[in-house]
Amino acid sequence: MTIQWVTGFFDIPVPVFEAGRDFWLGVTGYALSSPRGPRADFATLVPGTGDAYLRVQRIYAGLGGCHLDFHTPQWAQLAAWADRLGARRVLAEEGLVVFRSPGGLAFCVSGEDGGPVRPPAAQWSGESVSRVDQFCLDIPADAYDAECGFWADLTGWKLQDSPEAEFRHRRGSGQAPGAGRESLARRGRLDHHARPCRT
């Protein structure tokens, strides 16, 4: 099973959806697609060149946050692997399965095509450049090793230690660009009962 592309979703609660959406449009310099879905809750951030890898989603419950979609033609096999690793299925339909990791982080396995061209960094005045390149998984101390192991096993991506002891890098292969090319896992100072995993 090869993860071919990763899409990052910004999950934004209804009361602040427009403000949150406009913030990410401003940060990235991307355009916004037409909304889609039964209630027009989804939209894609469209780069000037390259393939889209960021989306916004209006949510009706919870505090919001982020989640990743892993795209592969072998979506059913990857979903079955997630089951065996201990993820909990939340929703399943043809070509899409929504999960919670053992630590409670949302993610999706998708058969939707994505990529393969990663957009270049946006260029700003003063010759500065930027790109949304990294998602951080905040994991409570008592769940840290198990949750890091889950994500490494699910993706097949290597975990690398960081100079700062509370962080580990999870680096995607050259065949799996997009939002998850590199992510961070951060060890929290509280245990799981005090603060759940979040992105």
DSSP 32-77: EPPPBSTTS-EEEEE-SSS---EEEEEESSS--EEEEEEE-TTHHH
Average pLDDT for residues 114-137, to the nearest whole number?
88
pTM value?
0.88
User: Up-side HSE of residue 25: CA atoms within 13 Å toward CB?
Assistant: 13
Query: Does the pLDDT value for residue 194 go beyond 50?
Result: no
* The pLDDT value given to residue 145: 87
Domain ranges of the chain: 5-110, 133-187
Q: What are phi and psi of 57, to 5 degrees?
A: -140, 130
pLDDT bracket for residue 57 (50, 70, 90): very high
Q: Is-contact 152 170, C-beta < 8 A?
A: yes
Amino acid at 118: R
Angstrom CA distances, 48 to 13, 114, 119, stand at 27, 16, 8
* The pLDDT value given to residue 56: 98
Fold of 133-187: 2,3-Dihydroxybiphenyl 1,2-Dioxygenase; domain 1 (3.10.180)
User: Up-side HSE of residue 141: CA atoms within 13 Å toward CB?
Assistant: 7
CATH code of 5-110, in short, is 3.10.180.10
5-110 and 133-187 in the same fold: yes
**What is the token pair recorded at 197?**
């995993």
Average pLDDT for residues 163-171, to the nearest whole number?
69
* The pLDDT value given to residue 82: 98
* The pLDDT value given to residue 193: 47
Distance CA 122, CA 109 (A): 28
* The pLDDT value given to residue 199: 65
117-144 as b/e: b if 16+ CB within 10 A: ebbeebeeeeeeeebbeebebbbbeebb
**What is the token pair recorded at 88?**
């909990």
Distance CA 43, CA 175 (A): 25
DSSP SS3 for 146: helix
